[in-house]
Amino acid sequence: MTPGSRLRGRLEAGQFAVTAEVGPPRGADPAAVRRKVAPLRGWVDAVNITDNAGAHVRMASWAGCLLAAEAGIEPVMQLTCRDRNRLALQSDLIAAGTMGIPNVLLMTGDHPRFGDHPDAKPVFDLDGIQLVRVARAMRDEGLLLSGRPLSVRPGWLIGAAENPFAPPAGQRAAILGKRAGAGAEFVQTQFVFDVAAFGRWMAEVRDLGLDRRCRILAGVGPVRSLRALDHLRGLPGMHIPEEVDRRLRGVPAGRVAEEGLAMCAEIIEQVRQIPGVSGVHVMAPGHEQAIPAVLGRAGLPQRPSPDGASADGHAALSAGSGRRRAD
C-alpha cells in the first residue's frame, strides 16, 4: 500500500515545502484538532500531529492525524520511543499505513521527568535512529524487526528530527548522516534563531552530500511573549543568540508578539537562501492560527488545495489510504 503524499511530491520535485506542527488536545474533543488545522489548509503541505510532546499526555497522534485528514490537511504522524516497546512501535507504524497516514516522523522522545507524569517509567526500547531503520525495513523489505514478513507493506514517507545546535558541537552533520543512512528521507530541525550557525551546519551537511539524500526543513516559529522566550531558553538543546533576546526585550511588552512574528518571517526568508534547505517547519504551539500570517509575510503565498479534496476533506483521507470508500 503506497499512500499519496503531497509532501513527498514537493520534496521530490525540488519545490520549497512547508510543514507545521499541531498539538492535539488534552481531552476527547475532535473539534479541537479541526479548529487548529483549518486555518492551515492551503498554506502548508502537511501538518505534524505531536506525540505527547514534552512528555505531557495528549490525544494520540494517530487519532489527530485521522481528524486532520478528514479536514483536508495531510498529516505527519509523530511517533516517539519513550512510551512504547518495539512491538507497540511496529504495531502503530502498521496502523498508520493501514489508515492511509502518508508520513511519519520518528523520534526518541523527551524523558518523562520533563513532563506531567515525572514518575512514569520510560521505555526507550529503541532510539529514534533505530526506529527509522526498523520503519525502512518494514516499508522497503516488508520485514518486521523479528524477521517475520508483513502481508502488505506500508508506504509512508519517513522523517526524523534533528537539532543542529545540540552537543556534541561539530558532529551534528555526522549524526544527520546516521539518520539518513538508517532511512530518514526528510528531517525537521529544532527552532532556528541563529541563522549564521545554521548556515555553517548546512555547509557541513552539503560537504557530506546529505542534502541530496535527506531533505532539510528548517524549524522556525514566532515568539509571542517574553514568557515564551524564557520558556524556550530553558529547553534542552535550544540555542537563542543574545541579539535575538535583546531585540525581543527591547520593544514594549505589547509589541513582542508583532516583533516575534516579523523576526520569524525574516528567518524564513534568510534560510530559503541557504543552499540545501528544502523547506521550513513552522511551530507555534497554541497559536497555530498565526502561521498563515507568518508565511504570508515571508512571501510564501497560500496555494490551492490538492485536486479532489472536498470541503470536509474525505477525499484526502481515502486517496491516502489506497482504498476507495463507498461513501
* pLDDT band at residue 306 using 50, 70 and 90 as cut-offs: low
Cβ atoms 181, 208 nearer than 8 A? no
For 42-51, 118-127, 152-161, 314-323, which range has the lowest pLDDT when averaged over its residues? 314-323
DSSP, res 218: E
Please state, in angstroms and rounded to a whole number, the distance separating the CA atoms of residues 74 and 100: 10
Amino acid 204: pLDDT: 97
Q: List 47's β-bridge partners, or say none.
A: 20, 75
Taking all residues of the chain, what is their mean pLDDT, rounded to a whole number?
91
- Which pTM value belongs to this model? 0.91
| Domain ranges (residues) in the chain | 6-221+275-321
- Tell me the average pLDDT across 305-310: 49
Evaluate if residue 183 carries a pLDDT over 80: yes
**Of the options 3.40.50.2000, 2.70.70.10, 3.40.50.1980, 3.20.20.220, the CATH number for the domain spanning 6-221+275-321:** 3.20.20.220
Evaluate if residue 242 carries a pLDDT over 50: yes
- Tell me the average pLDDT across 21-38: 95
Cell numbers standing for residue 121: 517509567
Amino acid 41: pLDDT: 95
Cβ atoms 193, 139 nearer than 8 A? no
C-alpha distance from residue 307 to each of 10, 42, 299, 313, 319 (Å): 15, 11, 23, 11, 11
DSSP, res 143: B
Summarize the chain as % helix, strand, coil (round to 5): 45, 15, 40
* pLDDT band at residue 238 using 50, 70 and 90 as cut-offs: confident
pLDDT in tens, 185-229: 999 999 999 999 999 999 999 999 999 999 999 999 999 999 999
SS3 annotation, 228-285: HHHHHHCCCCCCCCHHHHHHHHCCCHHHHHHHHHHHHHHHHHHHHCCCCEEEEEEECC
pLDDT in tens, 39-95: 999 999 999 999 999 999 999 999 999 999 999 999 999 999 999 999 999 999 999
Instruction: Count other C-beta atoms under 10 Å from residue 52's C-beta.
Output: 23
